Amino acid sequence: MSVNVLPIIMAGGTGSRLWPLSREQNPKQFIQLGDANHSMLQATIERLEGLNTRTPRLICNESHRFIVAEQLRQMQIDDSDILLEPIGRNTAPAITLAALQAVNDNDDPILLVLAADHLIQEANKFTNCIESAIPFAVAGKLVTFGITPTHAETGYGYIEKGVSVGSEGHQVSRFIEKPNQILAKELVDSKNYLWNSGMFMFRASRYLQEIKKFRPDILDSCKKSLAGGSKDMYFTRLDESAFFDCPADSIDFAVMEKTEDAVVVEFNAGWSDIGSWSALWDVSDKDSSGNVIKGDVIASSSKNNYIHSDSRLIATLGIENLIIVETKDSILIAHKDHSQNVKAIVSHLKDHERTEHVNHREVYRPWGMYDSIDNGHRYQVKRITVKPGAKLSVQMHHHRAEHWIVVSGTAKVTNGEKTYLVTENQSTYIPIGQVHALENPGKIPLELIEIQSGAYLGEDDIVRLEDKYGRIKPTDPAK
C-alpha cells in the first residue's frame, strides 16, 4: 500500500545538559555526537532513507535557520521547507503548525514526527517499526512510540500499555510523568510500561480534529500565526505577535493524554535521547579501559571516563568516572554521577550575564564564520572566513571602528562612497559610523583579521541597511 508520509523533524531546543559542546546558538542537534561523522539532525534525515517518505519538513528556532539550511545543503537537500518559530512554545503548537501547513497545501499526509536530537543505532529496526505503525495512522489512530525500558530511569515519562491492537500495538492506558526512583523501579519491574520517546505518527487532519477538541486556543493562535506569516526563500516565517500569544503545551498534555484513539507501538532500535554526558558515554565506543576519547587526549591509568578535546592536549592520570570536555573557551570537569546537573552551570552563566552558554568562540554565519581570538578593554580581535561569493550585510556601528587585514584571498570592500579590492597583506580601516560591507568575489575562501576598537564591542551594535540573507532586524546579533 502506497501511503503519503511526510516527516516532521523537530529541531528546536537548547540541549543545555551537554554544555559546553551544546550552546544556545549551536545546540546538540546540530553537532556531531557519539561516533557519527555528521550532526544528529543529519543522522535523523539519513535514517529516513529506508522509508518511502517525502522530503522532510523541519521546525526550528528562527535564530538557527542558517545552521539548518547549511546542514541540508551539505546533504544536497534543496527542496525542504523550514518553519521558523520566533519563540519556543513546546511541541503541541509546533506540530499543529506542521499539520495546518500540510492541509493548507491541499494535502493530508500521514505525519511522522521525529526529534532531531535522538540517537537510533539500528536503522533497519527503526524502518520496520515505523512501517508497522502506518496502518494505525491510516485507520485514524494517533500513534506514539514507546521504548522498552532497560533500567529505572527517572528522566523519562512512561506509557502504560493497554489491550493489544493488532499484532504490533496497544491502546494507551495512561501516561505517567517523570517518576521518582522508587516508582520508576516499580514501573520497570511490572514490564507493562514503556518510556515515552517523543515520536509520533498520525494523519494531519486527524491530529487537527483532536487539537481542536482539546485545545482550540492553540489551534486558533497557530492559524493566525500562519495566516499572518510569509515565505522567505525556503523559510516559512510566522506572524510573531500571534505566535507570542499562543499557549505553550506539549503534545502529550494537549492531545495524547486526552484522546481516546492513542496507540503505542513498541520501539526497540537502540534509542537514546543523549540527555546527559553519562548517557553519551553509555552509547559511545570505548577503549580497553572503558574511556571514550575524542581529540588530542592521553589517558594514563584512567578508567571509564568521557574525555573530549577540541583545541588542545588533555592528559589524565589515575582518574575514573569523570566527564572532561574542553572547548576553546570553556572546560567542564564533572563526575558521571552528576552529569545530569550540568544545567545548573548553564543557569549560573545566565544569572551572571556571561555568554559562554550562548555561542562558541567560533560562530557560524550564512556567509562563513568568525573566531574571537582575543579581547580586552576597548578592543577585540577576530579571524573571519568568508565563503566564495558570500557577502556580509551592508551595515554601520555607533560605537566601534574596524581594521581589516587580508590574510588570504581577495576582499571587495564598500567603505562609505568607495568600493575597492583588498588583497593579501593589505589592510583597510572602517571609521565609527561609516556604512560598510565586505564580500568575497573570488573562488577561494577569504581569510582576514578584524581588529575592533571602541567604547562598546557587542554584537548588537550592528545597524543593517541591506542583507542578502533576510537578516533585516537591527537587533539580530550577527554580522
pLDDT at 323 (0 to 100):
98
Q: What is the spatial distance between Cα 237 and Cα 260, in angstroms, rounded to a whole number?
A: 33
95 or 12, which is more confident: 95
Segment 3-62, tens digit of pLDDT: 889 999 999 888 889 999 999 989 999 998 876 788 999 999 999 998 999 999 999 998
The average confidence (pLDDT) of the chain is 92
Sheet strands (E) in 366-426: 368-376, 379-386, 394-396, 400-408, 411-415, 418-422
Residue 478 contacts by C-beta under 8 Å, 6 or more apart in sequence? 365, 459, 462, 471
Model confidence at 63, pLDDT cuts 50, 70, 90, reads confident
Report the pLDDT averaged over residues 392-418.
96
Report the pLDDT averaged over residues 154-164.
91
Segment 354-374, tens digit of pLDDT: 989 998 888 888 899 999 999
| Closest C-alpha among 256, 248, 120 to residue 176 | 256
For the entire predicted model, the pTM comes to: 0.87
| Closest C-alpha among 247, 276, 246 to residue 156 | 276
For domain 5-272, the CATH superfamily is Spore Coat Polysaccharide Biosynthesis Protein SpsA; Chain A (3.90.550.10)
Nine-digit cell at 141? 489512530
pLDDT at 477 (0 to 100):
46
pLDDT at 472 (0 to 100):
66
For domain 362-466, the CATH superfamily is Jelly Rolls (2.60.120.10)
pLDDT at 35 (0 to 100):
66
- 475 has pLDDT over 80: no
- For residue 425, report the phi and psi dihedrals to the nearest 5 degrees: 70, 10
pLDDT at 166 (0 to 100):
79
Residue 28 contacts by C-beta under 8 Å, 6 or more apart in sequence? 13, 15, 18, 21, 22, 40, 117, 274
Segment 266-315, tens digit of pLDDT: 988 889 888 899 999 998 999 999 999 999 999 999 999 999 999 999 99
Q: What is the spatial distance between Cα 114 and Cα 21, in angstroms, rounded to a whole number?
A: 23
Q: What is the spatial distance between Cα 464 and Cα 343, in angstroms, rounded to a whole number?
A: 34
State the residue for C-alpha cell 506539549.
250
- 382 has pLDDT over 70: yes
Q: Which residues of 229-259 are buried (b: 16+ CB within 10 A; e: fewer)?
A: beeeebbbbbbeebbeebeebbbbbbbbeeb
What share of the chain in percent tops pLDDT 90? 76
Report the pLDDT averaged over residues 183-188.
92
Segment 451-461, tens digit of pLDDT: 999 999 888 88
DSSP three-state, residue 137: helix
- 123 has pLDDT over 70: yes
478 or 411, which is more confident: 411
Domain boundaries, the chain: 5-272, 277-344, 362-466
What share of the chain in percent tops pLDDT 70? 97
The residue length of the chain stands at: 479
